[in-house]
Amino acid sequence: MSDHRSQRAARLREKAGAYALHALMTGFFLFPLVFMFVSALKSDEAQLLRDMGGLGAFLPRGEISLQNFADVFTRTNFARAMFSSLFTVGITVLLGIVVNSMFAYALARFAFRGRRLLLTLVVALIVIPFEAIAVPLLLLVNELPWFGAEGWAAGWLDSYHVQIVPFIGHAFSVYLFYQFFIELPRDLEEAAVMDGATRWQIYWRIVMPLSKPVIATVAVLQFLARWGDLLWPVMTVRSDEFATLPLAMQTFFGQFPRQWGDVMAFATMATLPTLALFVVFQRWFVRSVVSSAIKG
């Protein structure tokens, strides 16, 4: 009986320690968000600066209002920057899911000459940082033709498509889709072929509905990569009309006098779409991570 009680107490202590560690890690990752959200609500700049040196930075005390958020819309073209970010990132993610999944499905299911070479190139492209190809890519898009309001013209700079087209194909997304597709059983696809279904019908009506976990993972990862990207917009965007939130944030942060409450309000509104996306895709994202860990 005593051994049973001691084992039960040991399990309880182990569980309590695990919960305490998880709570500590959760708090560690939430502290920056809490600080940002709380600071965005403090309309008194002097109070905000005094609280930054202690725990008061995480407490909603002092003069609390939405004035900082109103100031952001007054001092910057936030609505236009938000639209540009949502448009460019949304189109990039949607087209990327279709294009990368089609390429991955061909690698996973079709046998053709050069297949292994293509797969090797995909893996090799994952380890190449974007900074290594940013300048060559800039020179390339500056010479490519595009049909606009004034007809055909060379150069993609200062446009939406220069922020979308180069990032539709994504090596890591292809690899994630490929790893998922090769684990899918072929029985459903073979049965569909026997019923006269085409490869496109199999891909669109069978494979993609079964791929919600990996689609959610790719969508979240690609959204995060493009949403916070600053280097490429700095290199290619010249006007406020096509500026995304990171570029607008950099411009706003450089204005003087710098109002930290307004900066935190800007950052808060820029963070909300990312949090909303994760909440929407959380179930499939976690399922994909768990299934990948089990397979590994």
- pLDDT one-digit tens code per residue, 171-228: 999 999 999 999 888 888 888 888 888 889 999 999 999 998 899 889 989 999 999 9
138 has a pLDDT exceeding 50: yes
List, for residues 178-191, the tens digit of each pLDDT value. 999 998 888 888 88
Distances 147 to 20, 88, 150, 154, 156 between C-alpha atoms, Å: 59, 18, 8, 9, 10
Q: Let me know: does 80 contact 240? Beta carbons within 8 Å.
A: yes
Higher pLDDT, 47 or 287: 47
**Per-residue confidence (pLDDT) for residue 291, from 0 to 100:** 56
Q: Would you state the structure tokens that stand for residue 92, as one six-digit string?
A: 């990039």
Q: Let me know: does 114 contact 126? Beta carbons within 8 Å.
A: no
248 has a pLDDT exceeding 60: yes
Helices 115-126 and 78-109, interaxial angle, to 10°?
A: 150
**Per-residue confidence (pLDDT) for residue 293, from 0 to 100:** 43
**Per-residue confidence (pLDDT) for residue 175, from 0 to 100:** 94
**Per-residue confidence (pLDDT) for residue 30, from 0 to 100:** 84
Which of the four pLDDT bands, split at 50, 70 and 90, describes residue 59? confident
Which of the four pLDDT bands, split at 50, 70 and 90, describes residue 132? very high
Residue written as tokens 């008061």?
56
33 has a pLDDT exceeding 70: yes
21 has a pLDDT exceeding 70: yes
How high is the mean pLDDT of the chain? 87
Closest CA to 89 of 259, 248, 223, 264: 223
**Per-residue confidence (pLDDT) for residue 286, from 0 to 100:** 64
**How large a percentage of the chain has pLDDT more than 70?**
93
Q: Would you state the structure tokens that stand for residue 198, as one six-digit string?
A: 């085409």
Scored b (16 or more CB within 10 A) or e, 55-79 reads ebbeeeeeeeeebbbebbeeebbbe
**How large a percentage of the chain has pLDDT more than 90?**
51
290 has a pLDDT exceeding 80: no
106 has a pLDDT exceeding 70: yes
294 has a pLDDT exceeding 70: no
Q: Which amino acid is at 235?
A: M
167 has a pLDDT exceeding 80: yes
269 has a pLDDT exceeding 70: yes
Q: Let me know: does 184 contact 252? Beta carbons within 8 Å.
A: no
List, for residues 73-90, the tens digit of each pLDDT value. 998 899 999 999 999 999
The fold of the 78-295 domain, in CATH, is MetI-like fold (1.10.3720)
